[in-house]
């Protein structure tokens, strides 16, 4: 055996970065977060009462510190400019010792259950010819726009409930994919319904497009902030329905709704929010001129679908 000392452990740093496009954080509030004091609440957190404790970042920092003094950094360019969270995790990179060729070959043969005599008689086969490319589509290579615009049967996205011995379906899967109200019978007149969806979350944009808009066979536009929503209305005229998020960069739903009403826009606007309905921010959102405000959950999506179905029923038959 070699008497040479074992190589010193090497270290590597792995960075995990999460960046959003939300309401951002001002410099004064960033200083509070960087102080590391537990129970500190900033911005909306101070308005939610029992909705938060201010311990989230403090716990994450302590866990990272226990993991080889890893660190968390929070940065923001200011209000309505989004926030960036970066975890720098220190990991030990264990050196992989070189293994002699004969040792590797013997280990491989042993794994295959070959004796030395059997191994000597193994004949190396020529490499297999490359298979011709298949005609299947790799969805990971599709641009997001193409993926979002591809027709999808939303009913196939739900987990199918198991069938019991008696033939009855289990109701436990109903909670995973609750039934949605069925849209009115699709006719050419249904295409007259036009909806503007204002939402900065790309996943929620695609979810409503697949689960509601495409199933109801309506025309729709999607934008990611209030300013773009106002531009759409100015360019394309009134919509039958505007579905408006509130917490967005550049211009919030509250600001956009108020500006639309001041312009004289009288169309129906539904607020779709992830904030608690009792939150003062939501009350301000409603007061800006919403016809209705619902939450971003299954019940809220159901209400939006019912509103669209009602609009379809009012469309004149061509």
- Report the chain's mean pLDDT, rounded to a whole number: 73
Distance between CA atoms of 81 and 107, rounded to whole angstroms?
57
pLDDT score recorded for residue 189: 42
Q: Which of 76-80, 232-236, 252-256, 281-285 has the lowest mean pLDDT?
A: 76-80
- Which phi-psi region, left, alpha or beta, contains residue 237 (left: φ > 0; alpha: ψ -120 to 50)? left
Confidence of residue 267 (pLDDT cuts 50, 70, 90): very high
Closest CA to 317 of 183, 191, 182, 181: 191
Confidence of residue 286 (pLDDT cuts 50, 70, 90): very high
pLDDT tens-place string over residues 51-87? 455 677 888 888 888 988 999 888 998 888 889 999 9
Q: Which of 20-24, 237-241, 257-261 has the lowest mean pLDDT?
A: 20-24
Say whether pLDDT at 228 is over 50.
Answer: yes
> In terms of pTM, does the model score above 0.85?
no
Decide: helix, strand or coil at residue 102. helix
User: Any idea of the CA torsion for 229, 234, 239, 244, to the nearest 10 degrees?
Assistant: 20
Q: What is the mean pLDDT of residues 271-295?
A: 91
Distance between CA atoms of 194 and 308, rounded to whole angstroms?
9
Top-confidence range, 119-128, 161-170, 248-257, 306-315:
248-257
Say whether pLDDT at 196 is over 90.
Answer: yes
pLDDT score recorded for residue 131: 39
Tokens of 160: 């199918």
Residue pair 253/226 in contact by the 8 Å Cβ criterion = yes
pLDDT tens-place string over residues 111-148? 555 555 555 554 444 444 443 443 333 433 333 333 33
Closest CA to 7 of 121, 91, 93, 82: 93
Distance between CA atoms of 177 and 161, rounded to whole angstroms?
10
Say whether pLDDT at 178 is over 60.
Answer: no
Distance between CA atoms of 91 and 82, rounded to whole angstroms?
29
Residue scoring higher pLDDT (153 or 210): 210
Closest CA to 181 of 295, 296, 299, 305: 305
Tokens of 293: 């405000």
Say whether pLDDT at 292 is over 70.
Answer: yes
Tokens of 61: 């920092």
Decide: helix, strand or coil at residue 244. strand
pLDDT score recorded for residue 7: 63
Residue scoring higher pLDDT (41 or 163): 41
Residue pair 294/304 in contact by the 8 Å Cβ criterion = yes
Residue scoring higher pLDDT (69 or 4): 69
Confidence of residue 306 (pLDDT cuts 50, 70, 90): very high
Distance between CA atoms of 38 and 188, rounded to whole angstroms?
58
pLDDT score recorded for residue 191: 53
Say whether pLDDT at 215 is over 70.
Answer: yes
Distance between CA atoms of 7 and 97, rounded to whole angstroms?
10
Distance between CA atoms of 41 and 236, rounded to whole angstroms?
42
Distance between CA atoms of 75 and 166, rounded to whole angstroms?
58
CB atoms within 10 A of CB 112: 10
Phi and psi angles of residue 132, each rounded to the nearest 5 degrees, phi first: -65, 150
Q: How far is CA 165 from the centre of its chain?
A: 38
């Amino acid at each position: 055996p070699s008497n040479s000392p074992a190589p010193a452990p090497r270290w590597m740093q792995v960075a995990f970065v999460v960046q959003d496009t939300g309401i951002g954080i001002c410099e004064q509030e960033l200083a509070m977060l960087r102080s590391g004091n537990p129970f500190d609440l900033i911005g909306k957190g101070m308005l939610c009462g029992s909705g938060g404790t201010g311990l989230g970042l403090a716990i994450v920092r302590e866990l990272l510190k226990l993991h080889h003094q890893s660190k968390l950094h929070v940065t923001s360019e200011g209000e309505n400019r989004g926030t960036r969270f970066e975890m720098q995790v220190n990991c030990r990179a264990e050196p992989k010792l070189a293994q002699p060729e004969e040792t590797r070959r013997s280990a491989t043969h042993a794994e295959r259950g070959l004796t030395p005599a059997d191994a000597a008689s193994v004949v190396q086969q020529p490499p297999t010819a490359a298979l011709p490319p298949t005609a299947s589509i790799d969805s990971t290579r599709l641009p997001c726009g193409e993926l979002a615009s591809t027709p999808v049967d939303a009913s196939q996205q739900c987990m199918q409930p198991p069938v019991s011995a008696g033939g009855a379906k289990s109701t436990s899967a109903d909670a995973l994919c609750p039934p949605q109200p069925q849209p009115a019978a699709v006719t050419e007149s249904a295409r007259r319904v036009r909806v503007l969806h204002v939402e900065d979350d790309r996943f929620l944009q695609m979810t409503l497009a697949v689960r509601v808009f495409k199933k109801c066979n309506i025309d729709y536009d999607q934008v990611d902030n209030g300013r773009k929503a106002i531009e759409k209305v100015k360019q394309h005229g009134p919509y039958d329905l505007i579905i408006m998020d509130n917490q967005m960069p550049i211009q919030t739903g509250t600001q956009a709704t108020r500006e639309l009403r001041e312009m004289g826009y009288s169309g129906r606007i539904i607020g779709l929010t992830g904030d608690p309905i009792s939150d003062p921010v939501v009350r301000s959102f409603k007061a800006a001129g919403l016809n209705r405000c619902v939450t971003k959950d299954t019940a809220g999506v159901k209400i939006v679908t019912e509103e669209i179905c009602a609009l379809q029923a009012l469309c004149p038959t061509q």
